[in-house]
């Protein structure tokens, strides 16, 4: 395979990025950490003539805590997301997911925006941001807009971004009181591999009574062309008093909702079963966290296989 040559651009403002994208059109590609893009180039899947590096645009690399929530710049590295104290306190599932992407070397390069814009059904950050109600701030030649994360993904590798658009930041509303979160991923070799199935859950309990669900969201990765939210879990649990059998029923219901494929990593049937197992675990953990109890199960236990023993 020959060496692919391209011209490198390193703008320092968003305006410059959009101007370059407008001038260079489809010949140009944005580069964040490069952990997906450079692999695609090496494999000959794309051959851009221009690479526009985003890392020098200050606006893209900040994390800001506001009264209205948290703003995470699109080029914030996953290693920073894993370690940031505000994210760990307010959205522990997001740091937990970040900590399970690739290796430390990958996480030191990979960005949260790159994970979204690659739009892989197995992108580990996507389910966690979906259950958090993330809004995506996008700037392009025709102005700026906010897009709800569930409207961003159009298919594997396809997003709502137009040719001159840049994802600027991810905005998260502040978590409501008595909310618990969870993220679990199943991979062939644990954290170094992409997910066979991943599940994120958010569960908010009503303020007056201890175990009535006021809000619940479950998002599943690697079981459909795009990461999907489960409507059946929401329907079954909202407004109900939480019990083990209700969690069991809700987890079982996702098996009819997911649309997995069989590939070299797992069969569709295995993915369907694991989607239910991980949903049950994620809902239980989110519930225990919502009532302030210790997390039920660690990712380590999932990797070690105790999740298969029915408990
Ligand atoms: C060894 C290895 C292991 C991996 N393991 C995992 C894993 O366990 N889980 C997982 O989810 N992923 C994994 N990945 C994939 C990858 O690391 C992640 O998807 C990463 O978050 C991509 O971010 P990046 O900054 O490197 O993106 P880049 O490669 O720089 O960009 C990815 C795509 O997004 C576009 N883009 C980037 N930023 C923007 C922006 N702000 N606005 C518009 N478009 C943009 C680029 O043009 C490109 O098309 C792995 C990759 C490798 C090489």
45 and 95, same structural domain? Answer: no
Q: What is the pLDDT of residue 192?
A: 61
Separation of alpha carbons 181 and 9, rounded Å: 40
Atom of ligand 1 minimally distant from the CA of 123: 11
C-alpha 101 to ligand 1 mean position (Å): 10
134 and 37, same structural domain? Answer: no
Instruction: From 150, 172, 194, give the residue that closes a domain.
Output: 172
Q: What is the pLDDT of residue 188?
A: 74
Is 221 close to ligand 1, i.e. is its CB under 6 Å away?
Answer: no
Q: What is the CATH number of the domain that holds 164?
A: 3.30.465.10
- Residue 39 forms part of a structural domain: yes
128 and 90, same structural domain? Answer: yes
67 and 40, same structural domain? Answer: no
Is 228 close to ligand 1, i.e. is its CB under 6 Å away?
Answer: no
Q: What is the CATH number of the domain that holds 47?
A: 3.30.43.10
Is 74 close to ligand 1, i.e. is its CB under 6 Å away?
Answer: yes
134 and 234, same structural domain? Answer: no
200 and 247, same structural domain? Answer: yes
In the chain, the largest separation of any two C-alpha atoms, in whole Å, equals 66
- Residue 300 forms part of a structural domain: no
- Residue 100 forms part of a structural domain: yes
Name residue, tokens 């003539």. Answer: 49
Is 34 close to ligand 1, i.e. is its CB under 6 Å away?
Answer: yes
Q: What is the pLDDT of residue 308?
A: 40
Is 175 close to ligand 1, i.e. is its CB under 6 Å away?
Answer: no
Atom of ligand 1 minimally distant from the CA of 60: 41
* Domains of the chain: total: 3
Instruction: From 142, 172, 202, give the residue that closes a domain.
Output: 172
231 and 131, same structural domain? Answer: no
C-alpha 117 to ligand 1 mean position (Å): 7
- Residue 311 forms part of a structural domain: no
- Residue 15 forms part of a structural domain: yes
Q: What is the pLDDT of residue 92?
A: 96
Atom of ligand 1 minimally distant from the CA of 35: 26
* CB-CB contact of 283 with 218 (8 Å): yes
157 and 76, same structural domain? Answer: yes
207 and 160, same structural domain? Answer: no
Domain range for residue 262?
Answer: 179-294
74 and 145, same structural domain? Answer: yes
Is 35 close to ligand 1, i.e. is its CB under 6 Å away?
Answer: yes
C-alpha 277 to ligand 1 mean position (Å): 28
- Residue 46 forms part of a structural domain: yes
Residues in the chain: 311
Of all protein residues, whose CA lies closest to atom 38 belonging to ligand 1?
Answer: 114
39 and 141, same structural domain? Answer: no
Is 275 close to ligand 1, i.e. is its CB under 6 Å away?
Answer: no
C-alpha 29 to ligand 1 mean position (Å): 13
Best mutation site among 30, 52, 58, 183 for ligand 1 pocket (most ligand atoms within 8 Å of CB): 30
Instruction: Annotate the chain with three-state secondary structure.
Output: CCCCCCEEECCCCHHHHHHHHHHHHHHEEEECCCCCHHHHHHCCCCCCCEEEECCCCHHHHCEEEECCEEEEECCCEHHHHHHCHHHHHHCHHHHHHHCCCCCHHHHCCCEHHHHHHHCCCCCCHHHHHHHCCCEEEEEECCEEEEEEHHHCEEECCEECCCCCCEEEEEEECCCCCCEEEEEEEEECCHHHCCEEEEEEEEEEECCCCCCEEEEEEEEEECCCCCCEECHHHHHHHCCCECCHHHHHHHHHHHHHHCCCCCCCCCCHHHHHHHHHHHHHHHHHHHHHHHCCCCCCCCHHHHHHCHHHHCC
Instruction: From 155, 172, 189, give the residue that closes a domain.
Output: 172
Q: What is the CATH number of the domain that holds 274?
A: 3.30.390.50
Q: What is the pLDDT of residue 293?
A: 64
State both tokens at 75: 């080029």
47 and 130, same structural domain? Answer: no
- Residue 310 forms part of a structural domain: no
Q: What is the pLDDT of residues 123-162, one digit of tens each?
A: 999 999 999 999 999 999 999 999 999 999 999 999 999 9
Q: What is the pLDDT of residue 78?
A: 98
Please list the pLDDT of the chain residue by residue as tens digits (311 residues). Answer: 567 789 999 999 999 999 999 999 999 999 999 999 999 999 999 999 999 999 999 999 999 999 999 999 999 999 999 999 999 999 999 999 999 999 999 999 999 999 999 999 999 999 999 999 999 999 999 999 999 999 999 999 999 999 999 999 999 999 999 999 999 999 876 546 789 999 999 999 998 777 899 999 999 999 999 999 999 999 999 999 999 999 999 999 999 999 999 998 899 999 999 999 999 999 999 999 999 864 444 554 454 444 443 33
């Amino acid at each position: 395979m020959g060496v692919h040559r391209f011209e490198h651009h390193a703008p320092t403002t968003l305006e410059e990025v959009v101007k370059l994208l407008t001038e260079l059109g489809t010949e140009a590609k944005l580069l964040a950490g490069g952990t997906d893009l450079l692999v695609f180039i090496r494999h000959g899947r794309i051959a851009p003539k221009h690479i526009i590096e985003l890392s020098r645009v200050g606006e893209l690399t900040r994390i800001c805590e506001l009264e209205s929530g948290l703003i995470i710049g699109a080029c914030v590295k996953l290693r920073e997301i894993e370690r940031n104290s505000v994210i760990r306190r307010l959205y522990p599932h997001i740091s937990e997911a970040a900590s399970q992407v690739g290796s430390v070397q990958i996480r030191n390069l990979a960005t949260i925006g790159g994970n979204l814009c690659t739009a892989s059904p197995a992108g580990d950050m996507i389910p966690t941001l979906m259950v958090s109600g993330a809004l995506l701030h996008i700037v392009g030649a025709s102005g700026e807009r906010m897009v709800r994360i569930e409207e961003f993904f159009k298919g594997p590798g396809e997003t709502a971004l137009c040719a001159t658009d840049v994802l600027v930041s991810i905005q998260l509303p502040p978590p409501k009181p008595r909310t618990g979160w969870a993220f679990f991923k199943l991979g062939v070799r644990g954290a170094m591999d992409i997910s066979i199935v991943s599940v994120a859950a958010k569960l908010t309990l009503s303020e007056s009574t201890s175990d009535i669900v006021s809000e619940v969201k479950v998002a599943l990765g690697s079981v459909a062309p795009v990461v999907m939210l489960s409507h059946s879990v929401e329907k079954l649990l909202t407004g109900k008093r939480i019990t083990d059998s209700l969690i069991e029923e809700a987890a079982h219901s996702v098996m009819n909702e997911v649309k997995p494929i069989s590939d070299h990593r797992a069969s569709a049937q295995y993915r369907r079963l694991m989607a239910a197992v991980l949903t049950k675990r994620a809902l239980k953990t989110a519930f225990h966290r919502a009532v302030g109890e210790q997390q039920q199960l660690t990712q380590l236990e999932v990797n070690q296989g105790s999740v298969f023993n029915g408990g």
